[in-house]
Amino acid sequence: MTNANLPRRSWIQRWHVKGFGWTALMVLLLIGSSKMTDVNVGMFFSNLDQFADLIVRMSNPTWDYLSVIIQPLIETIQMAILGTTIGTIFAIPFALMAAGNLVHNKFLRGFDRLVLDLVRTLPDLLLAAIFVAIFGIGSTAGVITLAIFSFGMISKLFYEVIETIDMGPLEAMESVGASKITIIWYAVLPQIMNQFVSYFLYTLEINVRASTVLGYLGAGGIGVYLQRSLNEFNYGATAVIILATIVVVLIIDGISNHLRRVLL
Amino acid sequence: MDEHLATFLRGAYEMEQAPIISFKHVSKVYSNGTVGLKDIDFSIPKGQFLVVVGLSGSGKSTLMRTINRMHEVTEGEVYVENEAVSAYKGRSLRTLRRRIGMIFQNFNLINRSSVEKNVLSGRVSYYPTWKSVMGLFSAEDKQKVVTSLNRVNMAEKIYARADELSGGQQQRVAIARTLMQDPKIILADEPIASLDPLTTKTVMDILKRLNQEDGLTVIVNLHSVELAREYADRIVGLRAGELVYDEPISAVTEADLNKIYQAI
């Protein structure tokens, strides 16, 4: 044998004990969870006729409704853009402060990350409910919700990008006698700008989708109309809203995917 | 030549040439206990072309970075133009660094930025932060970019992106950036380690020219003994953080240099 010099694989490696073990564990956990939470998969199949019934009712979209929802659809997109932008503006300084390669003060960095972690644990639906209670029904509550949600998400994505940059240019700028802000401007931002824009667009995509749901809680946008049509059993209108939302989300996804491809 | 006479002459020469940099019993111990430098004590006269040789990890880079305070020393003191560098802080530290140009093995240019912006970044310490960030450089300094690029024969690439250039071209741009500082000292940390033999000669010739035409004090860390002998006025050798060799080029022999590279 030509491979005589190779070491022998152990018994565990030869029979893939680890792989099988983990798979068995996962299956056991799934079965256990469904038992304990009383999830009945059979129910999904036995209620399929309800599903079909809904589809049939929605199969006659009242296209006239389209003229009513154009304005709220635009409002939804505007909410997403505003919320994402505001969140990003606040996220940038926090992301810079959270990056281990820029801030060597462990206390400052730790505090900053704690704040970011806390913000991220707040679900957007909870935020929306709170802000609707504070600001009343309307898009202000939606924009603030999306801003906070984007802030938490973007600051995390951003500081992880910052931590992967090449430190060489920073050293060069330091040796030139540049101040901290100048170093960030000249040596950090050019390295991360493309990824920043890419993550911004990614968050915008998510926010367009999220803002349709937020409207459901009264936070403005298309969601308000979605809820209304469902409550009125006006399934023809619901169908139009869903289809229009899908189209808008697809367009936004397409644009942002294209931009990200061009940028990276 | 009589050894005493040689020593005497060297002493007389060094006395006439006031040292621009002196190390006074400099030691550095890293926080993990590793000894970086051990009781380094020597002076570098103004206008000298000094080559520091030694194995990787012998402390060459650390020694170089104690001059512009990119590394702190744990004992002793480094003097630049008769001022202790440990006294500098904040703004004054940045003006110290402005007088000391630095060139790196990996060039450390900002890849996504233009050659022009890279070279201009060498000038930022002459401006307040807000002006640097807004890019408000004077017309003279923009002209100075062209002059600096001309000195390294790179003017025709002024609008190219830094990452479009070859290694040798990038290093020449890095030298142009350093020239923007109007430095009195140039520190070059293995400037040719990533270059081929032909571009190596170009870069070393440029450094030699700056030394001879502009009277800049040049300190170069090198691996290559042949290059050290070809360009240096004086060679010092480091081994495990200790200064084990220090001779003017006239007294350097091949056998001496080979000894520095022998394993301990």
Residues A47-56: tens digit of each pLDDT: 888 888 888 8
Burial class (CB in 10 A: 0-12, 13-18, 19+), A109: middle
B209 in any annotated domain: yes
CB contact under 8 A, A176 and B132: no
How far apart (Å, rounded) are the C-alpha atoms in residues A34 and A191?
47
CB contact under 8 A, A185 and B132: yes
CB contact under 8 A, A186 and B110: yes
B51 three-state secondary structure: strand
Q: What domain range is B179 assigned to?
A: 47-68+95-260
How far apart (Å, rounded) are the C-alpha atoms in residues B195 and A83?
49
Tell me the CB-side half-sphere exposure of residue B248, using CA atoms within 13 A: 12
* Interchain CB contact of A42 with B (< 8 Å): no
CB contact under 8 A, A190 and B113: yes
To which H or E segment does residue A215 belong? Answer: helix A189-216
B126 in any annotated domain: yes
pLDDT at residue B73 in the model: 92
DSSP letter at A146 equals H
Q: Say which residues have a Cβ less than 8 Å from residue B10's Cβ, sequence separation at least 6.
A: B248
How near does any CA of chain B get to the CA of A145, in Å?
32
pLDDT score of B180 more than 70? yes
Q: pLDDT grade, residue B84 (50/70/90)?
A: very high
Q: A169: which chain B residues are within 8 Å (Cβ-Cβ)?
A: 108-111
Percentage of chain B modeled with pLDDT above 70: 93
Q: Which of B108, B136, B175, B178 is the best substitution to test chain A (most A C-beta atoms within 10 A)?
A: B108
Q: pLDDT grade, residue B70 (50/70/90)?
A: very high
pLDDT at residue A153 in the model: 93
pLDDT at residue B5 in the model: 67
CB contact under 8 A, B94 and A173: no
Residue carrying the six token digits 């190390």: B23
CB B81 within 8 A of CB B20: yes
Q: A179: which chain B residues are within 8 Å (Cβ-Cβ)?
A: 94, 124, 129, 132
CB contact under 8 A, B104 and A171: yes
CB contact under 8 A, A171 and B129: no
CB contact under 8 A, B70 and A178: no
Tell me the CB-side half-sphere exposure of residue A174, using CA atoms within 13 A: 15
B-facing residues of A in 172-211 (CB < 8 A) are 172-179, 181-182, 185-187, 190-191, 193-194
CB contact under 8 A, B112 and A179: no
Sheet holding B217-222, edge to edge: B100-103, B185-189, B217-222, B49-53, B234-239, B242-248
How near does any CA of chain B get to the CA of A21, in Å?
41
pLDDT score of B177 more than 90? yes
Percentage of chain A modeled with pLDDT above 70: 99
> Could you say which of A174, A182, A190 has the minimum Cβ distance to residue B112?
A190
The answer to which of A23-32, A243-252, B37-46 has the lowest mean pLDDT is A243-252
Q: Is ipTM over 0.90? A: no
Kindly report, residue by residue over A33-51, the tens digit of the pLDDT: 988 888 877 888 888 888 8
Pick the CATH number of A66-263 from 1.10.10.10, 3.40.309.10, 1.10.3720.10, 3.30.70.600: 1.10.3720.10
Q: Say which residues have a Cβ less than 8 Å from residue B122's Cβ, sequence separation at least 6.
A: A176, B101, B148, B176, B177, B178, B179, B180, B181
pLDDT at residue B264 in the model: 45
B227 in any annotated domain: yes
B81 in any annotated domain: no
Kindly report, residue by residue over A108-125, the tens digit of the pLDDT: 999 999 999 999 998 888
Q: B124: which chain A residues are within 8 Å (Cβ-Cβ)?
A: 173, 176-179, 182, 186
Q: B117: which chain A residues are within 8 Å (Cβ-Cβ)?
A: 186
Q: Which residue of chain B is at minimal alpha-carbon distance from A170?
A: B108
Q: B97: which chain A residues are within 8 Å (Cβ-Cβ)?
A: 174-177
CB contact under 8 A, B132 and A187: no
What CATH number does residue B216 fall under? 3.40.50.300
How many domains does chain B contain in total?
1
How near does any CA of chain B get to the CA of A102, in Å?
15
Q: Which residue of chain A is at minimal alpha-carbon distance from B102?
A: A175
CB B188 within 8 A of CB B221: yes
Distances (CA, A) of B1 to A259, B8, B232, B236, B254: 73, 12, 21, 21, 18
B113 in any annotated domain: yes
Structure tokens at B55: 């194995």
B188 three-state secondary structure: strand
Sheet holding B19-29, edge to edge: B35-45, B19-29, B75-80, B83-84
* Average pLDDT for A78-83: 92
B112 in any annotated domain: yes
